[in-house]
Every structure is written in structure tokens, then in C-alpha cells.
Amino acid sequence: MDGTADPERVFSDAQLAKHLALSETFGKGAKGRVHEGEFNTDPGARGLDWDGCELDPEAQPWGRYMRELDSYRGASARQTAVKWAKPEDKTDPYTGPEVEVTQSLISLSTKDAKRYLELQRDIYTYCPAFGYNLETGTATEYNEVERLEGVGDAALLESTEVVQDLMESKSDVPRFYTVEARVGGVIIRVGEGDRKEAIAWA
């Protein structure tokens, strides 16, 4: 986004979509459709990602954080750029894409954008790990968050790792990174499997 623009300006879905990076920015041949739509249109949907959190919402502020996070509304645009090494890999359940980067822009008031980042940090802090059931057994999700200096007006680096009980070594588990940076009232989100590249793309 234009860093010289009015920090209180609120953007539309279409305006945000024009500022998403081109798919091939993340790798030659990468492709992805742009989706426009209001942020948080499905109340409570964000909470589904954290249903397995073992914290007691009556005893901890975690439940209040989630309810407040779900209450925010704003314009948004998002895209997942994907590149496959070989066409046949798309149908192979054991082979992932060579490149997969998710990016999104969310427009809020500056006040709400500041609070949004605070809530994200609080949620990751209060729910560092939780378990849930899979068809093949159980899994534990581990979450970490840290502040990033020098990125936008404020930024967080969030990381997620899912360890299934059948895995022989935790060292084999991939970790997914998401950078959430604020510029005025715009939240820029970039997620991918490499820490340095996620920060660089943001």
C-alpha cells in the first residue's frame, strides 16, 4: 500500500485487490485467484480454528479475546499463489506444491487495526498448544508469536506446527509462518512455509 496515504483512509475490496502482489512475485509459474469479500463475514468462524484449546474460557480471557476478534468487520482481498513442480503432483496426496504463499489485505480503522494485532498476539500467547482428533489418530498444534521490528507500523510473526501422534520425529514436522503487519488501518498478511521468506514478502 502507499505509505504516504492518509492513515485513517478505509479501502474497498476492489481497491485492496489491486494492491495484492502478482502471483508470479512468489515464483515463476505460480498462479492464484483473487477473492474479494468482507473480513470476518462468518461470526465465530475464526474460533473454529481454536476449538481444541484446552484453556477454560470461564477462567481465562481467551474466550473474550476470540469474541472481540470475531466482532471486527472490514473490506478484504486475498489470494493463495501456488506452483506445482509437476502437473501430476496435484493429484498426489503425498506431494505438496513447490510454492504456496497466501497473502491478504484487510482494511479497518487505525484504532481497530491496532487492537486486532493486540488480540492476535494475546490469542497465540494464551493458546500455545492444543490437541484434537483426526481420522488417523490425534494431533497437537503448537503456536508461537513474536513481535517484528521494522515492518510497517507494527507487526507480528506467527508460527504453527501440527504434530501427529504417528510421526516418528518432531523434527520432520513442517512449520507454517504468517506475518501480520499494520500500515495505518490496513493489515497485511503473508503466510508461507519459510520464516525468512514470509518476513521478506511482507
Assess if residue 105 is contained within a domain. yes
pLDDT over threshold 90, residue 13: yes
pTM of the prediction?
0.82
- What are the tens digits of pLDDT across the range 15-59? 999 999 999 999 899 999 999 987 777 654 554 456 666 555 555
Assess if residue 45 is contained within a domain. yes
How high is the pLDDT of residue 157? 96
163 or 7, greater pLDDT: 163
Q: Which CATH number is 133's domain given?
A: 3.40.1000
- What are the tens digits of pLDDT across the range 85-132? 887 777 776 677 888 899 999 999 999 999 999 999 988 888 888 777
Residue 62 contacts residue 51 (beta carbons within 8 Å) = no
- What are the tens digits of pLDDT across the range 55-85? 555 556 777 787 888 888 899 999 999 998 8
Assess if residue 193 is contained within a domain. yes
The CB density around residue 126, as the number of other CB atoms within 10 Å, is 17
Residue 54 contacts residue 5 (beta carbons within 8 Å) = no
Residue that is written with C-alpha cell 476492489 in the block: 14
Confidence class of residue 1 from pLDDT cuts 50, 70 and 90?
Answer: very low
Residues contacting 31, CB < 8 A, separation 6+: 23, 81, 82, 83
Assess if residue 7 is contained within a domain. no
Return the SS3 of 58: coil
- What are the tens digits of pLDDT across the range 156-177? 999 988 888 766 555 567 789 9
Assess if residue 75 is contained within a domain. yes
Q: Give the number of domains in the chain.
A: 1
Residues contacting 65, CB < 8 A, separation 6+: 119, 122, 123, 126
Assess if residue 3 is contained within a domain. no
Grid cell of 108 as nine digits: 479497518
C-alpha dihedral over 38, 40, 41, 44, to 10 degrees? 180
Give the domain range for residue 67: 31-201
